[in-house]
Every structure is written in C-alpha cells, then in structure tokens.
Amino acid sequence: MREYSRVGPKFWIGATGKLLRKAGMEAQIVAMYLMTSPHANMLGLYYISTPSIAHETGLGYEGAMKGLKCAIDAGFCEYDEETEMVWVVEMAAYQVADKLKAADLRVKGVQNEYDSLPENPYLARFFAKYGTPFCMQQQRGESVISTGLPEAPSKPLPSQEQEQEQEQEQEQEQAQESPRPTAAAELSIVFRKAGIRTQPADPRLVALAEQGVTSETVSAACDEARRAKPNEMLGLGYVCKILERWAANAAALRTSGAAPPSRTQHQSSTDKARNWASRIQPKGKTDGIIDINERPR
C-alpha cells in the first residue's frame, strides 16, 4: 500500500475537474478515490473491482457506477470490465513526473511496475503515452498506431451491453458457419448469454474446455454466481472459482466414498452441475479446474 498520493489543485479547477464537478458529486468522489486508492500504483494503471469502489467510497453500487461512468465520459479514466483494470490516464504524470532523465532511478521503478502488471487492454497505450518521457525500454500488449489525434475515452459502461450483444451474435454466427465450433467458443457463448464478457482464446476458457467442463455446467455456475451477487457485475474469474469449488467438493465425495444422488431424484441445476463436475478430472499442479490466481489482490 502506498503511503501517499500527489493530487494537484487543478484536480478541482482544471478542464477535466470542471467536467467532473458538472457531472456531480459521485464523479468527483470516484475520481479522487481512484487517485488516492490504497490499491493504486504510481502508474495509475491497476486492478480494482467495482464492488471495492462502491464499498470504500461509501457510495453504494449504483452511486459508484454512476461516478465511474461520469469519470470515463470526462476522459479522466478508462475501465475494462473483463480484467477489472482501471487506467487513470494522467495519473503517472502527477505521481512520477512529466519527464525523466535516463539516469533517474525512477526509470527502472516505472519499468518494473509496468512489467509486473497483469495483462490488460491498456498496456500498449500506456507505453505509447509514457514510454519516451519515462525512458522505458520494453513495451507490452498489442502495438498502437498513432493517428495524431487525441484518443477518445472508453464507452460508458451501460453502452457496453450493446457491444456485448453484437459480439455474442458474431460468435453464434461463427459457430453456425463452422461445422465443429471449438469447446472454448461454445463456453464463451454461454458466458456471454449470462452477461460475462469473454473471448474463446482466453486461457481460462481454454483450460475449462480442456478439463471437459460442459456448457450446462457453466450455465449452472453462472446462475449461482448471479444469485450470490444479484446487483454486481460478474467476471469470469468469479465463476471459475465456483467451478473450482464444485470440482473440489466432487473430489472430496469421491474420496469419502459417498454415493451421488439417484437419477430418479429431483435435482436442481446446481445439483446437476455438481454431478457433472464430479466427472471432471483435475489437471495441473492444483486440484482446481484452473489457476485463478492470475490477478493481484
């Protein structure tokens, strides 16, 4: 946890600050929180879940989502729902400097912090913005081609629902055109229907498919996740934890010799999922379905 953060007076009276003020109290609180959050780093690019924003600001979920949306609209930050990474675009300039000399020890610190970040959509764009001023050597992420125009802020969170629906329709069309869609693609469609953004190439989806997890099992896990968090945005990692727990419980039942429920008994979707999970043979170093420790906590 950082001991302090730098916040200049222009936060309140600058062009972006005026937009935040016009948007309302929630936008100002969320923006200030993102600058001073205990989860933040000097780059302004870090992992933060929306429930954490809601809880630690005291705004509640709806207030926090309103503030985050307004902060995005003002160009203050960008937020990726899938990786739960936020990028406060100008934060590195405030926390580090406008420019560093090559001999400055902070150059190595910036590069090390950057290298330690989990995969996210903002890595290449961060390097494009700060690579030269901070004398950084190694870029991550896909290459960015500069158009010479200022980059537009991310779409507001609610509008991403339409984007998600379009992506889901495209995946379904591809699955219909292909004689044998991959198992990961089929699982991705199930997640999309449940409101969780995924891509078939996601290593976690590939791992689930390799473990033999079925679409029915994923659908049941998504249902349980929605019941557990009815008012929160769900992520792939949370559903994977449910699947991992089911597999662990099924393994424990096999070890204890307990008999599975009779097929003649009425079973809920969750009971069925646990039975399906009992046929999954764990792989890798752990007893879980996949390694879900891919994000810092």
CA distance readout (Å), 79 to 83, 105, 287: 9, 30, 33
Q: What's the confidence (pLDDT) of residue 271?
A: 59
Of 154, 171, 200, at which residue does a domain stop?
A: 154
Q: How many CB atoms lie within 10 A of CB 32?
A: 18
Q: Is position 1 within any domain?
A: no
Phi, psi of 290 (to 5 degrees): -145, 170
259 lies in some domain: yes
Of 154, 188, 221, the residue at which a domain comes to its end is 154
Pairing of strands 85-88, 77-80: antiparallel
267 and 205 within one domain = yes
Q: Which amino acid is at 113?
A: E
Domains in the chain, number: 2
| End residue of a domain, out of 123, 154, 185 | 154
Task: Report how far apart, in Å, the C-alpha atoms of 219 and of each of 193, 194, 223 are.
Answer: 9, 8, 6
Which structural domain range is residue 37 located in?
10-154
pLDDT at 142: 74
Whole-model pTM? 0.49
Q: What is the pLDDT of residues 58-99, one digit of tens each?
A: 999 999 999 999 999 999 999 999 999 999 999 999 899 989
Predicted pLDDT of residue 192: 82
Residues 125-171 have pLDDT tens digits of 999 999 999 999 999 987 543 333 344 444 444 455 555 566 666 65
Query: Are 136 and 163 part of one and the same domain?
Result: no
Nearest CA to 154 among 89, 247, 66?
Answer: 89
Same domain membership, residue 167 and residue 147: no
pLDDT for residue 125 = 94
Q: Is residue 2 part of a domain?
A: no
- CB neighbour list of residue 90: distance below 8 Å, 6 or more residues apart: 16, 44
Query: Could you give the CA distance from residue 90 to residue 14 in angstroms, rounded to a whole number?
Result: 13
- The stretches in the chain having pLDDT less than 70 are 1-4, 143-181, 256-297
In a domain, 288, yes or no: no
Q: For residue 167, what pLDDT is reported?
A: 62
Same domain, 148 and 164: no
The residue length of the chain stands at: 297
Residue 3 lies in a domain: no
**pLDDT at residue 199 in the model:** 77
